[in-house]
Structure 1
């Protein structure tokens, strides 16, 4: 069984194969290609544990064998919810080996998001961590299994009574480990087609239901290989994965998969704070890492006291949100490493500044596309191409940009034009030499320090409160996060407290980063001439309020 996929037109698919973008080799090749010459090279470090390429491949193979014994089969889907631990990659490769298609939820996601993903893909298997509050007991697992009858198997990283042990499935028995020395035919591995879906990526989205992005082996592996080449990765590369491992940025741009492909080493950090990352960089001689702009600010503050821990760091990638030029200019002198800007999307298109680019390009642009066959259009509100140097909406298609969200025909009619160009929702400027500069968003979405918040999703949850009659979530500027969210509400209860609203949203099970940072009560929401909520006016209103609050207040005269 294969996952439904909106295909590339045959002429384009043939072109991508002819030019070598699509090689029809599944992504399991990322590990297996190192099993001869580099099998004993360090591949992965997680806390005090480490894996060679041989050990990583063996663990993935054993887990794959355990999954087959469990009754999981090729074409099934899986819900994966793991933190930044080595098991994330072992699971990722094991599922690919048996042809199971996962959605890798962020560990910050909660009941609302996991339920939505499970309802869409109808998984046979869930692999979760008892570190998350949802899985400290079996209550949510039982409820989700009842709601999604296809969900029959649970593997748990950590202690839990509601599922089987992930650690035991990876370890296997001595007899099972011995069987791994036999031929692939003896283990009955499924035959993988690189044209099929390898896994689902997560869309930031702008609608109420999170959308899933089917990524094939062919398109994603090309992005990984090309990214590794552009970023000049090799066997000496040591990459610190400090942002969430499932993010497209840290997975493939070039991310952990690019480093594995090049034969380097990946070091995992639980989170991106300097307190966590600086000792890891020093201990493991990390050469590159990737951050979002808010984390860069924290690193700059910490490095002001002592940057000696960063001596091995050669490159810092920054993406996820636009990096301001003033912040970009501080990176090399204060952190002692060079900057590479990255602008990409889980749907496909990825842009990099190159290592031989001018200082102006590195500090002021978000790079240029990976491929000569990345087709990019910048259009106005009428869909007409704008001159270079003029802001417009970004449309793209290419050898690693998908052609449709999973099981979302109505949304796809809006997300793609008639020629198959994907509307990314970004407002960009293209320079005369083909570099992109991100200047904003035309989608109803907040980019909160690299985490995307769909306004409609939170508005629907707010309107579930009977006392709220209207709600609008908009972005407001923030010096550290770039953007934060502000909810404007109209309520029948003037005594309704912000604490009660946030408590309601938490009860809905949404991720914490989606909670409104600010809530403003208004008598009425401004409307456009066509009767829609005027979010442009609301964004300006909250920006004006923040600016007024930041101004120093005149001192009051004190009467003697």
Structure 2
């Protein structure tokens, strides 16, 4: 590996591990909906979280300045598949040079800079450079094809696109030339594309010459023409509430929407995730999850940066073997992934070849974690302080997260405790009235982490965020007496069979306890008698065999008869999103 200003802070002693802070249950008198007195004051599903530490009044750039000053010689980034590593001081030097290069291209405060790449060192450098120069980073899924990238670039009005030349079997260069044939004849920086009217610059993250586009090294050279003092003056004009990120939602209700997130929301969410994980400069975070998603960009990158910890990229895209090799080679202390990633790693035939003694903690989310999988994660990976989180793009990343010392059962059946400086209420989705504790309802959140809105879509923004500032998540949840939350499904995913509301997640969690089941997805299918019936798609563990009837017999006497899947189908593998969700 090449080393850029190499160094390590592995010898830094972790700070004392703190216990969980308590919860403040606000009475009905203090609640925003004080006129709702259908249930006892202290039994209502409303919660706010006190904090030992105040909110951080920083931009991403100013917090990075603080980290460089305190931990400049600690390793910040290791991109193992690229063979490069950076200390915080060296990383920031590259960040500042690219930020000045963006200014040389004409970037103005608030301009959108799109990033279309898998996990590389250039991804993190661009993330921080856009923040320092006043740009708004538009994170694009590297798997996007022509129509999707055209839609995203035009919706956001992107002026600068930084792209990897290819992703897996997708040739980004050819795709962009099809979308903007003007590239073949224009000079870099002079693009005037009919189908991409706002786009002026394309920068490729490698140094191969491409028609009409800048090479990465050329933009870095341009940065040398802009004094660092000019960049510092630009940074002084950036406020903590300014937008810094435009993240596209999954688009399950139509075309993807762009959630606009601020410096304040991302810095603080990353900071408090890192606090919950008890990160220090001694921690090394293995990140196989995609950086274009909040899971990578915030939950990993910013939680590490705000604590002087190192980000370790094992591969461009998820590769279970590369992750296992990287944990041992880089002595990683934390590992991220969605449940399907952990299953792939644990079931890899070479799993036992590697040493995982360095692992301490980690983070998962996006799907429930069956208790058997949790036992394997905390046992075989030795991550005793492994945590489970719940959040959404529109809320900057994470809202609830388990404590490192929570009981295994708590980590499997809840999404943990709310992060500090947030409010949560569970409401009846029809009346918007707060429900009693332990009663399912829609999860609503309020606080610093809520997005500024959907880009150029006030109607969708007003539908998601009410007049009192509550983000209506569309998730069905339960608030327990101890302040921990359970997510039982999506309002729109509920199966309604003969008038009975059935949570797919509840059935999935039960089916995961079958010894032959590796992965499962439960959906509703049309039925002429009951309106909907329960259908389960099941993937079996390697070498396992089981029949549909055996699955049904396994369910009998364990879950209600009407919840037992009427239709069971087997599949070798599930289609996955880029973030590893079924």
What is the TM-score when the length of structure 1 is the normalising length? Answer: 0.74
Structure 1 residue 321, shift from structure 2 partner: 1.3
1:542 and 2:535 matched: yes
* Cα offsets for 1:432-471 (capped at 9, x unmatched): 111111111113699xxxxxxxxxxxxxxxxxxxxxxxxx
Structure 1 residue 480, shift from structure 2 partner: 4.8
CA pair 153-401 structure 1, distance change in 2 beyond 3 A: same
Residues of 2 paired with 1:308 and 1:206: CA distance?
39
Structure 1 residue 20, shift from structure 2 partner: 7.3
1:46-85 superposed matches below 5 A: 46-47=79-80, 48-85=83-120
> SS of the counterpart of 2:67?
coil
Structure 1 residue 315, shift from structure 2 partner: 1.3
CA pair 152-425 structure 1, distance change in 2 beyond 3 A: same
Match of 1:239 among 285, 290, 303: 285
Match of 2:388 among 333, 338, 341: 341
CA pair 185-258 structure 1, distance change in 2 beyond 3 A: closer
CA pair 280-166 structure 1, distance change in 2 beyond 3 A: farther
1:373 and 2:422 matched: yes
CA pair 277-263 structure 1, distance change in 2 beyond 3 A: same
Counterpart of 2:564 in structure 1 is none
Structure 1 residue 344, shift from structure 2 partner: 1.4
Counterpart of 1:30 in structure 2 is 63
CA pair 19-194 structure 1, distance change in 2 beyond 3 A: farther
Counterpart of 2:549 in structure 1 is 551
> SS of the counterpart of 2:125?
helix
1:230-309 superposed matches below 5 A: 230-253=276-299, 255-270=300-315, 271-302=317-348, 305-306=351-352, 308-309=354-355
> SS of the counterpart of 2:203?
strand
Instruction: Say which structure is richer in helix.
Output: 1
* Cα offsets for 1:188-222 (capped at 9, x unmatched): 65621111101112223432110111111112211
Structure 2 spans left out of the alignment, 5+ residues: 1-31, 33-47, 183-192, 496-503, 512-516, 541-545, 552-582
Residues of 1 paired with 2:90 and 2:353: CA distance?
34
CA pair 307-438 structure 1, distance change in 2 beyond 3 A: farther
Relative to structure 2, which stretch is displaced further, 394-403 or 20-29?
20-29
Residues of 2 paired with 1:372 and 1:185: CA distance?
32
Counterpart of 1:510 in structure 2 is none
Relative to structure 2, which stretch is displaced further, 434-443 or 189-198?
189-198
Match of 1:146 among 182, 190, 194: 194
Relative to structure 2, which stretch is displaced further, 371-380 or 318-327?
371-380
> SS of the counterpart of 1:136?
helix
Match of 1:102 among 133, 137, 142: 137
CA pair 266-185 structure 1, distance change in 2 beyond 3 A: closer
Q: How many residues align?
A: 463
Counterpart of 1:155 in structure 2 is 203
> SS of the counterpart of 1:394?
strand
Structure 1 residue 363, shift from structure 2 partner: 3.0
Structure 1 residue 147, shift from structure 2 partner: 1.4
CA contact (8 A) 1:198 1:216 kept: yes
Relative to structure 2, which stretch is displaced further, 70-79 or 106-115?
106-115
CA pair 277-526 structure 1, distance change in 2 beyond 3 A: same
Residues of 2 paired with 1:445 and 1:263: CA distance?
42
1:391-402 superposed matches below 5 A: 391-402=440-451
Counterpart of 1:491 in structure 2 is none
Structure 1 residue 340, shift from structure 2 partner: 0.9
Residues of 2 paired with 1:249 and 1:228: CA distance?
13
CA contact (8 A) 1:347 1:402 kept: yes
Structure 1 residue 81, shift from structure 2 partner: 0.6
Residues of 2 paired with 1:299 and 1:546: CA distance?
16
Structure 1 residue 43, shift from structure 2 partner: 0.9
Match of 1:421 among 470, 484, 489: 470
Structure 1 spans left out of the alignment, 5+ residues: 1-11, 447-473, 489-524, 529-535, 554-560
* Cα offsets for 1:21-46 (capped at 9, x unmatched): 55442111232213334222211111
Residues of 2 paired with 1:429 and 1:45: CA distance?
40
Counterpart of 2:271 in structure 1 is 225
CA contact (8 A) 1:24 1:195 kept: no
CA contact (8 A) 2:421 2:447 kept: no
Residues of 2 paired with 1:392 and 1:238: CA distance?
38
Residues of 2 paired with 1:377 and 1:391: CA distance?
7
Counterpart of 1:462 in structure 2 is none
Structure 1 residue 403, shift from structure 2 partner: 4.7
Residues of 2 paired with 1:416 and 1:188: CA distance?
32
Residues of 2 paired with 1:263 and 1:545: CA distance?
42
Counterpart of 1:384 in structure 2 is 433
1:178-197 superposed matches below 5 A: 183-184=229-230, 191-197=237-243
* Cα offsets for 1:261-292 (capped at 9, x unmatched): 21111111223332111111111101001111
CA contact (8 A) 2:522 2:534 kept: no
CA pair 527-63 structure 1, distance change in 2 beyond 3 A: farther
